[in-house]
Amino acid sequence: MPSMSTIESLFCRSTPWEAATRRWVLPWALQGVRPTGRVLEIGGGGGAMAAQLLAASTPADQVQLTVTDFDPVMVDAAQDRLQRFGDRAVAQVADATALPFGDGEFDTVVSFIMLHHVVDWEQALCEAARVLRPGGTLVGYDLLGTAPARLLHRLEGAPHRFIDRGQLRPHLAGLPLRDLTVRENAASTRFRAIRTAGR
């Protein structure tokens, strides 16, 4: 699984990105879902979304957040950013296509604008469903394979494999998920679903 490009790495650790996550990105991405209990963010980068998720949670939510990323530099940045939350958050290196967690360990799994970096995004979503407990929620968003997105990533040399329009729903429908919602606009897709009891 590839690491981020230098440009993306710097952006994900920047103050403007953190401000954007607080104001509109996180609420838009969560689509009304309120994460509770054990929460896993796959490919959390520098931890900006994780920090905002924790800041927005209440004691009643009992959020214990695990943030993973393939890039050790990003994990270090996330650890620094999440330090203020004490033992409510941990960041660790992990491959999204082979998560080091048992089946059904998490109440919520979130994926924010990272699947196209995984390249094998189908396997990453299989792993996300696997580590969800029955009744747990999968929620996220990503870029679609538009011409501007492909050009930007090509120019900066970032490894990627975008989701094309119409690809995400059939793949998610083949996983042990129910109440599936997929919304696509001109440049991105948002998704959410509930883990079923079966395999």
Mean pLDDT of the chain: 87
Across 131-142, average pLDDT: 97
Q: Is 190 helix (H, G, I), strand (E, B) or coil?
A: strand
In angstroms, rounded to a whole number, what is the distance separating the alpha carbons of residues 8 and 93? 18
Is pLDDT of 170 > 90? yes
- Tens of pLDDT, residue by residue over 64-82, are 999 999 999 999 999 999 9
**Cα 51 from Cα 65, distance rounded (Å):** 10
Query: How confident is the model over 38-51, as a mean pLDDT?
Result: 94
**Cα–Cα distance, 17 to 24 (Å, whole number):** 11
pLDDT score of 38 more than 90: yes
Confidence tier at 1 by pLDDT (50, 70, 90) = very low
- pLDDT value of position 26: 85
- pLDDT, mean of residues 170-197: 95
- By percentage, how much of the chain surpasses pLDDT 70? 85
Q: What is the pLDDT of residue 152?
A: 72
Whether 19 has a pLDDT exceeding 80, the answer reads no
Sequential DSSP letters for 53-109: HHHH--GGG--EEEEEES-HHHHHHHHHHHGGGGGGEEEEE--TTS-SS-TT-EEEE
The per-residue pLDDT for 105 is 98
pLDDT value of residue 116: 86
Lowest mean pLDDT among 69-73, 103-107, 134-138: 69-73
